[in-house]
């Protein structure tokens, strides 16, 4: 996974119209060719991959995994220590974990993947992703957004944050608490840290919620190095425990397999 991180931990900027360069996108696409996933939508602000063709996805209820690739750092680095990884990891670290997972393990066919842009601004990559699913007559039964967090670094390998539920007819959950409890049960971990959107930092799940979808953020705990409000985006970077990388990857695979079973 750390070798993948080295390849993709580079600048990736965008505006409301699209990505400004395609270097990181090209590297991700090359790495994805080593998996069973192939590109089904090469959009302006989202790159979507699936094991199935568009016509095979029509009418299906899908698990959508979203991992934003846009960055705001000026300088990039990663450094491996004995027990930690340090660097400008927002959000290249979950990009790398996801690609490694798709390369090394069996993920169900009804799980599709979106690498989105514009998360740091207006989350327009979310809108384009959902619009594309509408055009092929597919829908996201639940959305798993991947990101880093400054919560849970000391005692946790992952957190569940910003969980929202679909409103209206045909919903799977009636309350946010019900979704939270369901996810904790899937993970089989009473120690998982959960953070309601009132307390959590905003991310692109807030935009997925605007599309009335069941969604949540599965976050990798990190510790800031800088000592100011925008610590996550500071070029000094963040620190992630290697033990958390293992816990997060294993838990993500478990989540995807069980969500795919329940939202088929």
pLDDT digits (tens, 9 = 90+) for 6-37: 999 999 999 999 999 999 999 999 999 999 99
- Contacts (Cβ under 8 Å, ≥6 apart) of 35: 49, 99, 102, 103
Which of 80, 86, 255 has its CA nearest to residue 159? 255
71: helix, coil or strand? coil
Residue 64 confidence (pLDDT): 98
Angstrom distance (rounded) from CA 98 to CA 75: 23
Cβ neighbourhood burial of 155 (10 Å; 0-12, 13-18, 19+): exposed
- The DSSP secondary structure of 14-64, one letter per residue, reads B-SS-BS--HHHHHHHHHHTTSS-EEEEE-SSEEEEESS-HHHHTT-EEEE
Give me the average pLDDT of each 10-residue run along the chain (264 residues): 97 95 97 97 98 96 97 96 97 98 93 96 97 97 97 96 93 93 92 91 96 98 86 92 97 97 94
Parallel/antiparallel/unpaired status of strands 238-241 and 84-87: antiparallel
Residue 105: predicted pLDDT = 79
Domains (range + CATH), the chain: 2-262 (3.40.630.10)
The chain-wide mean pLDDT, for the chain, equals: 95
Is the four-CA dihedral 231, 245, 214, 59 of positive or negative sign? positive
Q: Distance between CA atoms of 8 and 69, rounded to whole angstroms?
A: 9
pTM: 0.97
Give residue 104's pLDDT. Answer: 86
* Residue closest to 163 by CA, chosen among 187, 199, 129, 133: 199
pLDDT of residue 191: 74
Quote the pLDDT of residue 189.
Answer: 81
**The pLDDT value given to residue 227:** 80
- Name, in order, each residue with C-beta under 8 angstroms of 111's C-beta and a sequence gap of 6 or more: 51, 62, 63, 65, 256, 259, 260
| Summary count for the chain: helices (H), strands (E) | 8, 12
Q: Please state at what angle helix 176-187 crosses helix 242-262, rounded to 10 degrees.
A: 110
- Residue 138, Cα to own-chain centre: how many angstroms? 20
């Amino acid at each position: 996974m750390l070798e993948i991180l080295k390849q993709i931990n580079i600048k990736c900027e965008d505006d409301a119209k699209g990505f400004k360069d395609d270097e990181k996108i090209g590297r991700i696409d090359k790495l994805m060719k080593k998996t069973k996933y192939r590109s089904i939508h090469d959009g302006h602000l989202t790159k979507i991959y699936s094991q199935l063709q568009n016509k095979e996805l029509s009418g299906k209820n899908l698990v959508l995994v979203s991992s934003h690739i846009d960055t705001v750092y000026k300088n990039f680095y990663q450094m491996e220590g004995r027990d930690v990884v340090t660097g400008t990891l927002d959000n290249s670290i979950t990009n790398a974990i996801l690609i490694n997972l798709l390369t090394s393990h069996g993920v169900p066919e009804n799980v599709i993947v979106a690498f989105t842009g514009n998360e740091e601004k207006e989350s327009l990559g979310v809108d384009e992703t959902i619009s594309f699913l509408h055009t092929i007559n597919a829908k996201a039964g639940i959305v798993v957004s991947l990101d880093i967090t400054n919560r849970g670094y000391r005692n946790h390998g992952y957190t569940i944050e910003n969980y929202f539920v679909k409103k209206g007819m045909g919903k799977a959950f009636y309350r946010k608490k019900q979704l939270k409890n369901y996810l904790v049960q899937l993970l089989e971990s009473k120690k998982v840290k959960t953070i309601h959107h009132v307390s959590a930092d905003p991310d692109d799940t807030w935009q997925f919620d605007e599309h009335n979808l069941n969604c949540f953020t599965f976050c990798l705990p990190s510790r800031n190095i800088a000592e100011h409000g925008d610590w996550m985006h500071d070029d000094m970077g963040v620190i992630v425990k290697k033990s958390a990388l293992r816990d997060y990857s294993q838990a993500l695979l478990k989540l995807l397999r069980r969500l795919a079973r329940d939202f088929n």
